């Protein structure tokens, strides 16, 4: 399987993760205007599963290092299999709530609050499991990112008070972030730590992402079906509505899932040289990317009161500064 040879290349992979995780939400906005996020999300999950399999049979099965996908899957212990599956279930629940927050409050709120909170929790949790990197720089970066979250929440409150916007999107983003901070540790725990030296019963990063994706797909029949019939906003939708969707809407969902899964795979692959805390933390710099899309491309704060853009620019500044500390932590 393909293994990253250096920390520099690992950071580059994390940058790709950041771009992927921060940009997939655009596909939800590019789907048909009447295409509900619950329907979009089915295609998104299919896209995640398809790309994980493609990478497993290509990068995960080439070269002499590590262990190829199919032999790796055949020897896994149940405990590690269940750990990766659990990671997928936790992620799916959190990501459905994030998608709902995007549909209500927009990318420039859902990502900085939800994913930013997940970043802060996830970096701490993953560092405690595998303490790699300078703790002063890591926790200093987390503190700056938490400050950025607070500034973004304040900006959204100003918008909500002025335009009578629902705060439900902000609440969903917070709940999503609390859940999302924990999924990565279960996937990382299922893998062997040195990718060039396979451990019996443990998974390779490529196999772990496939099992993780299966956990997402299977749990979606529970979580998303429930939301289809009991949505946060709007009327219930049915599976018949899904099959009546346009080709463009379905393709946007599959593309969104594939983009996110590429980022997830690159983050997992990079964790060998960067450590799980740094790899996860840098990838969650997606908050900056998504905020830029939402603020300056989709103009989600165009009717906000005076002073709101100052808060948003400060939010972006502290995010970038916090991420810089994470990069320098190793």
DSSP 147-183: HHHHHHHHHHHHHHHHHT--SHHHHHHHHHHHHHHHH
The pLDDT tens digits for 87-105 are 999 999 999 998 888 888 8
- Closest by CA to 275, choosing from 141, 126, 65, is 126
Question: How confident is the model at residue 52, as a pLDDT?
Answer: 98
The pLDDT tens digits for 290-319 are 888 888 888 878 878 888 889 888 988 998
Task: Pick the more confident residue, 9 or 33.
Answer: 9
Model-level pTM?
A: 0.86
Q: Compute the distance between CA of residue 171 and CA of residue 110 in angstroms, rounded to an integer.
A: 9
Question: How confident is the model at residue 81, as a pLDDT?
Answer: 97
| Token reading at 204 | 């390779």
Residue 64: count other Cβ atoms within 10 Å of its Cβ.
8
The pLDDT tens digits for 199-232 are 999 999 999 999 999 999 999 999 999 999 999 9
Task: Pick the more confident residue, 225 or 150.
Answer: 225
């Amino acid at each position: 399987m393909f293994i990253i040879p250096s920390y520099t290349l690992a950071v580059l992979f994390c940058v790709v993760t950041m771009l992927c995780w921060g940009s997939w939400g655009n596909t939800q906005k590019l789907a048909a205007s009447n295409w509900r996020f619950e329907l979009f999300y089915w295609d998104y999950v299919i896209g995640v599963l398809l790309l994980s399999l493609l990478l497993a049979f290509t990068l995960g099965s080439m070269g002499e290092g590590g262990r190829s996908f199919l032999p790796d899957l055949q020897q896994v212990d149940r405990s590690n299999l269940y750990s990766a599956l659990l990671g997928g279930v936790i992620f799916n629940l959190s990501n459905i709530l994030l998608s709902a927050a995007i549909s209500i409050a927009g990318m420039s709120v859902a990502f900085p609050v939800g994913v930013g909170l997940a970043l802060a929790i996830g970096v701490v949790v993953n560092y405690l499991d595998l303490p790699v990197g300078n703790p002063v720089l890591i926790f200093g970066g987390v503190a700056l990112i938490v400050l950025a979250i607070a500034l973004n929440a304040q900006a959204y409150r100003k918008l909500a008070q002025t335009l009578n916007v629902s705060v439900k999107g902000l609440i969903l983003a917070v709940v999503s972030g609390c859940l999302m901070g924990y999924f990565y540790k279960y996937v990382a725990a299922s893998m062997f730590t040195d990718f060039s030296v396979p451990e019996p019963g443990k998974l390779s990063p490529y196999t772990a992402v496939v099992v993780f994706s299966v956990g997402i797909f299977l749990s979606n029949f529970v979580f998303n079906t429930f939301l289809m019939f009991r949505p946060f906003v709007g009327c219930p939708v049915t599976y018949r509505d899904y099959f009546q969707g346009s080709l463009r809407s379905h393709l946007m969902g599959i593309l969104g899932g594939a983009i996110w899964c590429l980022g997830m795979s690159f983050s997992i692959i990079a964790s060998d040289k960067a450590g799980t805390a740094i790899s996860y933390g840098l990838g969650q710099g997606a908050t900056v990317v998504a905020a830029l899309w939402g603020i300056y491309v989709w103009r989600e704060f165009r009717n906000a009161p005076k002073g709101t853009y100052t808060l948003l620019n400060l939010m972006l500044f502290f995010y970038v500064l916090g991420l810089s500390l994470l990069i320098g932590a190793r």
